[in-house]
Amino acid sequence: MTRLSDFDALSFDCYGTLIDWETGLLTALRPLSERSRVPDDELLEAYGVIELEIERENPGLVYSQLLEKVHARLCDRLGVERDDIEAAKLGASIGDWPAFPDSVEALRYLKQHFKLVILSNVDRMSFAGSNRRLGVEFDHIFTAEDIGSYKPDLRNFEYLVTELGESGIPKDKLLHTAQSLFHDHVPANQMGIASAWIDRRHDKTGGGATVVPEPLPHYDFRFVSLGELADAHRAEQD
């Protein structure tokens, strides 16, 4: 039976897993929501589809700038006028998105037992704001800006495995820890990387701002929060 303590490193998706990106997005998109009168769930679902489209079209574009394009296309899809100021505010909002309540304490505990790694569809500058909120020093930070592509592109996971391998962490000692089944668990399966699903939307219906894959991928662990993962590791030490 696989145990959390079998691993030496945890690689994290950040937004949706450590940072409450849906709350952050809805706050930044509130002016558009009010203009379009679209319910939050529909707005998030439309956002998720459009973000994926634009990431595929612009794999080398810095994430904050990519969000401006997402905003423009979202306006078009919802039938409202584009607003460049609103779009710029969305792109600049990433560092303001809140951490989940359990993230900081759980990361501090996990830091004592694992190497902590970020693998995120974001740019370095935006992540710096989020990193301050998370209150821990990550051992490695790999962003879409560094890699030149966005998850679920396998290049991101190949980069992760290569970089960690060079630092002495083999693939079989890595546990990828993420909320998004589509962006993270599907490619982790394809790469043969063990994974833990942080099911942040366990009490909600639908996929929210994350596309739901068909079929659903395999995952080695499921927790509803990062705090629950940390508690499970503590229990293994008893």
Q: How many other C-beta atoms lie within 10 A of the C-beta of residue 226?
A: 28
**199 an active-site residue?**
no
**Which pair of structure tokens corresponds to residue 86?**
């609103």
The residues facing 161 across adjacent strands are: none
Rounded Cα–Cα distance for residues 189 and 237 (Å): 28
Catalytic residue among 6, 8, 13, 83: 13
Strands 194-198 and 140-143: unpaired
- Collapsing DSSP to helix, strand or coil, 12 comes out as strand
Rounded Cα–Cα distance for residues 105 and 134 (Å): 9
Burial of 88 (0-12, 13-18, 19+ CB in 10 A): middle
Active site residues: 13
